[in-house]
Amino acid sequence: MRIIPAIDIIDGKCVRLTKGDYDTKKVYNENPLEVAKAFESHGICHLHLVDLDGAKSKHIVNHKVLERIATNTSLKIDFGGGLKSDNDLRIAFESGAHQVTGGSIAVKDRPTFLGWINTYGSDKIILGADAQDEKIAVSGWQEASNLELVPFIKKYQKEGISYVICTDISKDGMLEGPAFELYQKILDKTKVNKTIVGPSGVEDIEKQGIKLIASGGISHFDELPRLAQIGCEGVIIGKAIYENRISLKQLENYILTC
């Protein structure tokens, strides 16, 4: 399971919110590059970078922060927040994003999001499926929708999406543990039969599913092996690192022993 620390950006600074509420903003570091370099120095290879200003403004804002981190580290960055147009996507990739996450766009402008999948491929486009009471939320979680979480994911799975980030909003920033049951449900419901051909040419049926990245509520190191056990491909960790609930040394040791 990939370890993916999170850096959320407002006004160019590293912040965290609680349940997506901008009024709960807490600044942890005014230099996101410094934070990213600390992650890298402990053997971490991936970063989840969120442009919260962009999510609110509905267009990319903090691409210069992305560019600085991409230029000065070797981290593979998935970038999200405010990506609403082909131009936003172009700027993100040109600024150094390895992958991009589309959440609101996947709900509000399905043709454009499908165009991104077709143009860049499913390895570059992550579906952001963030939910409250298993209903999809959009616009930086400021708006609710009537879309059911699992059918929403399955619909895009049929279109080729393989990477999915799911945040249970009620857990985000609460340091009370992740939504284990929800992630198990998603993984169970999205498994499909795939025909594979072995070296001898014999066909077999194998159950395959999405690459689910858990996000929200991580509070202690012991939760990570459990997420890996149920089948999560990655886990995004934010406040637990910044509040010293999980140390970078623990994450370094976890990566080395995987």
Active site residues: 8, 130
Cβ(9)–Cβ(52) below 8 Å = yes
User: Among 134, 132, 135, 113, which residue's Cα sits nearest to residue 124?
Assistant: 113
Element of type H or E holding 88 = helix 86-94
Which position has the token pair 């929200």? 216
Element of type H or E holding 67 = helix 63-72
| 83 token code pair | 């990506």
- 258 CB burial (10 A radius; 0-12, 13-18, 19+): exposed
Report the interhelical angle of 223-230 vs 180-189 (nearest 10°): 20
Give the whole-angstrom CA distance, residue 175 versus residue 26.
15
